[in-house]
Amino acid sequence: MRTSPATWRAAALAHLPHGELSATLEEGDLGQWVEAAMGCGIAQAQIRLGHMLLAGDGIRPDARAAFACFLCAAKSGDADGHAMLGYCLENGRGTEKDLPAAIRHYRRAAALGHAGAMNFLGRCLEAGIGMKADKFLARAWYRRSARGGDFRGAYNYATMIAAEGCIAGALHWFGRALLGAPEPSRGDMVTALSSHKISAMRALAAHAHERGLHGDNEIGLTPAGP
């Protein structure tokens, strides 16, 4: 039986290597790809195309189409879909800003175990974005995010406990953040830590920089902190 074009596009979105997918998208009608993603019921395909559309990664950027892709994924209960809807609603990407709605989607994603959304909640609580500022709850969300494997959550949690004087714990979580962060985020973290007021953090940054220059991602970590 012949595969329909929409089914083929959905499969390509879910499984083609990034370079091949970008080249394929450039050659076709982008609207048909968006329609295929939204109608396929495959959250992985919807999220992938949404990210590419939002960033203009290999294709023409279209924030509204990206938002539509994330919305479809969220409707199927996908954690990434809810997290990205929260991001778009918080920042007005592809839709009007709506902070209460952004917080609701972050909470839904976090309830589904999305470590990145846990970090977003921590950031909103720390800065008072869309809700009353609460440093204690922000710390708790950063901790959950860090333990869930999010590099931004690890960095933010380390920053908070370093300010509280928990040096060993901060070193551990800064190290975890550096191990998990892609470039350019890792380089930005090393730069920030290089000017940290605590000498142990500056030493960690120097060590991480030296390892990076030699293509070695291993960083000596202290035992896990609080």
Give the model confidence (pLDDT) of 144-160 as tens digits.
Answer: 999 999 999 999 999 99
d(CA 195, CA 178): 16
Which of 39-53, 56-70, 116-130, 211-225 is predicted most confidently? 116-130
pLDDT at 30: 67
In this structure, the number of other CB atoms found within 10 A of the CB of residue 215 comes to 6
Instruction: Write down the pTM of the prediction.
Output: 0.84
pLDDT at 159: 98
Tell me the average pLDDT of the chain: 87
Query: How confident is residue 26, by pLDDT bands cut at 50, 70 and 90?
Result: low
Give the model confidence (pLDDT) of 191-214 as tens digits.
Answer: 999 999 999 999 999 999 887 643
- Note every long-range contact of 8-11, with CB atoms under 8 Å and residues 24 or more positions apart, other chains counting: 9/33, 9/36, 9/37, 9/40, 10/36, 10/37, 10/39, 10/40, 10/42, 10/45, 11/45
Query: How confident is residue 1, by pLDDT bands cut at 50, 70 and 90?
Result: very low
Q: Name which of 30-34, 119-123, 142-146, 202-206 the model is least confident about.
A: 30-34
Q: Is the per-residue pLDDT at 221 higher than 70?
A: no
More confident residue, 34 or 106: 106
